[in-house]
A and B are shown apart, each in its own frame.
Chain A
Amino acid sequence: MDTLIHWLQSPWPWYVAGPIIGLMVPLMIWIGNRSFGISSNLRHLCAISQPKSIGVEFFQYNWREQNWSLVFAIGAMLGGFLAGVVFANPEPISLSVAFLTQLAIWNIPIGEGFLPPVLFGFYWQSFVIMFVGGVLVGFGTRYASGCTSGHAITGLSTMQAQSLLAVLGIFAGGLIAAHFITPNLIGGIKP
């Protein structure tokens, strides 16, 4: 029992986590002939909350048919709660020495949890950054009709050229942000 709890608390190596995530693709086909992906829920949530008077066509469809996808997202939230709160890893995240050095150069202190304290904490700058970053994520994933799960995992698993284009775009954007934007943006917040 102690071994099981220890295993549930410790971080999983890539060769355990990767295959589980990859299994989502055949699993979702088997459950109900669905395409594995999560970002379309953002569209469904907009469709649910859009007032009739506004009526953007993109959000006028029967979202009730996509209930399964919302249930999947609720499951992901519950899974996050179990893994991150109930079976939380008591140890600090073990990052590579190279990256720890990089963080020190950026002057970003490491705290508990998955976001650095400057982004996690209650500073107005953090909320603005998380919100604006979220806008880019929401806009981009819908424009590209998929995110990391829908394009990188499902799309590449089924060898679709459009998904390769999307993944190249995602990676290019991520490199630009991580190298030129983020260090200046976050290093500037003084908690």
Chain B
Amino acid sequence: MKRFIPYLLAGMLFGFTLVKSEAASWYRIMEMFHFQSFHMYGIMMSAIVTGMIGVQVMKRFTGRASLEGTPMEIPKKESGRYKFVIGGMIFGLGWGIIGLCPGPIFTLVGMGSVGALFALLGALHGTWLFGALRKHLPE
């Protein structure tokens, strides 16, 4: 159980930040998609820049042991082309309606939001639907 503590703390920091930055707010997401505030763009851009610097630093430690003991490496995504564009668009359509992406769905459920709970139930059904149809979809 002890090995889970760092993940729990990291998740708590992530959830706390999503709420304090209001990135978990429907209003902020709509404001972003209407280009009416810099706030969300500032969050995304500074997060990516920080992540990039962090990854460059971690590259120096490639192969060394992580806290858990597994060797560290830089994550890679799977291959494909259409699935990223089409899947991304389908996700974007949902995001532009409910104003919540998966991180905020979890954090708002933690806040006791009934609306977010319905979004979570929907997301589980959507995930299941994808799993069932996966073989018929272009890669």
**Residue ranges of A at the interface with B (Cβ–Cβ < 8 Å):** 8, 11-36, 38-39, 41-43, 45-46, 49-50, 56-59, 67-69, 71-85, 93, 95-96, 98-99, 102-103, 110, 113-116, 119-120, 122, 126-127, 129-149, 151-160, 162-163, 165-179, 181-182, 185
Query: In the bound complex, what is the Cα–Cα distance between A50 and B30 (angstroms)?
Result: 35
Nearest Cβ distance between residue A93 and chain B, in whole angstroms? 6
Nearest Cβ distance between residue B57 and chain A, in whole angstroms? 6
Q: Which are the 9 A-B pairs with shortest beta-carbon distances?
A: A75-B11, A173-B92, A134-B122, A169-B88, A79-B15, A177-B96, A138-B126, A140-B91, A22-B50
**Are B118 and A80 neighbours in the complex by a CB distance under 8 Å?**
no
Nearest Cβ distance between residue A59 and chain B, in whole angstroms? 5
Which of B25, B39, B90 is A173 in contact with, Cβ under 8 Å?
A: B90
Overall SS of chain B's interface: helix
**Nearest-CB residue, chain A, relative to B97:** A133
**Are B98 and A156 neighbours in the complex by a CB distance under 8 Å?**
no
**Nearest-CB residue, chain A, relative to B48:** A156
Which of A78, A141, A145 is B78 in contact with, Cβ under 8 Å?
A: A145
Most chain B CB within 10 A, of A28, A96, A114, A158, is at A114
**Residue ranges of B at the interface with A (Cβ–Cβ < 8 Å):** 3-4, 6-31, 33-34, 36-40, 42-52, 54-55, 57-58, 66-68, 70-81, 83-116, 118-132, 134, 137
| Interface contacts beyond A24-B14, A78-B8, A144-B83: sample of 14 additional A-B pairs, CB < 8 Å, sorted by A | A16-B21, A19-B50, A71-B7, A72-B7, A95-B31, A114-B108, A139-B91, A141-B87, A145-B83, A148-B101, A153-B48, A160-B77, A170-B95, A177-B92
Given A27-B10, A120-B114, A162-B84, are A137 and B126 also a contact pair (CB < 8 Å)? yes
**Are A147 and B101 neighbours in the complex by a CB distance under 8 Å?**
yes
**Are A154 and B75 neighbours in the complex by a CB distance under 8 Å?**
yes
**Are B16 and A79 neighbours in the complex by a CB distance under 8 Å?**
yes
Query: In the bound complex, what is the Cα–Cα distance between A176 and B12 (angstroms)?
Result: 32
Given A78-B110, A114-B22, are A140 and B84 also a contact pair (CB < 8 Å)? no
Nearest Cβ distance between residue A25 and chain B, in whole angstroms? 4
Query: In the bound complex, what is the Cα–Cα distance between A12 and B90 (angstroms)?
Result: 30
**Are B12 and A76 neighbours in the complex by a CB distance under 8 Å?**
yes
- Specify which chain B residues have a CB less than 8 angstroms from the CB of A116 in the assembled complex: 26-27
Nearest Cβ distance between residue B53 and chain A, in whole angstroms? 8
Nearest Cβ distance between residue B75 and chain A, in whole angstroms? 3
**Nearest-CB residue, chain B, relative to A114:** B25
Query: In the bound complex, what is the Cα–Cα distance between A76 and B71 (angstroms)?
Result: 26
**Are A147 and B102 neighbours in the complex by a CB distance under 8 Å?**
yes
- Specify which chain A residues have a CB less than 8 angstroms from the CB of B77 in the assembled complex: 145-146, 151, 155, 160, 162-163
Which of B36, B55, B111 is A25 in contact with, Cβ under 8 Å?
A: B55
Nearest Cβ distance between residue A171 and chain B, in whole angstroms? 6
- Specify which chain B residues have a CB less than 8 angstroms from the CB of A14 in the assembled complex: 21, 38-40, 42-43, 46
- Specify which chain A residues have a CB less than 8 angstroms from the CB of B55 in the assembled complex: 25-26, 29, 157-158
